[in-house]
Structure 1
């Protein structure tokens, strides 16, 4: 689930797993639409994003 939050600096989102754990979060955006746009981008590329193992 994506959650959108508002802070004094602007809007940011975080992605939570089914267990409620935070998986990742965004930077802070001045416009809410920018936060929504990045959520849409993550939704588009995540299913096909490759894994690069740098270990």
Structure 2
């Protein structure tokens, strides 16, 4: 599941994105303690300047 948006401020556009991954396999992702887990989440922020 991914959530994204466009936030415009003049010629600058910020595009934040939050992503949640989930699986039934227990060895697909690794958590902060290097243990296997069934889910993961990510956050990305893009900045686009139009001129």
Q: What is the TM-score normalised by the length of structure 2?
A: 0.37
Flag the structure with more relative contact order, 1 or 2, with Cα contacts below 8 A and sequence separation at least 6.
2
Return the index of the structure with the highest Cα Rg.
2
Which of the two has greater helix per residue?
A: 1
Which of the two has greater strand per residue?
A: 2
Q: What is the TM-score normalised by the length of structure 1?
A: 0.35
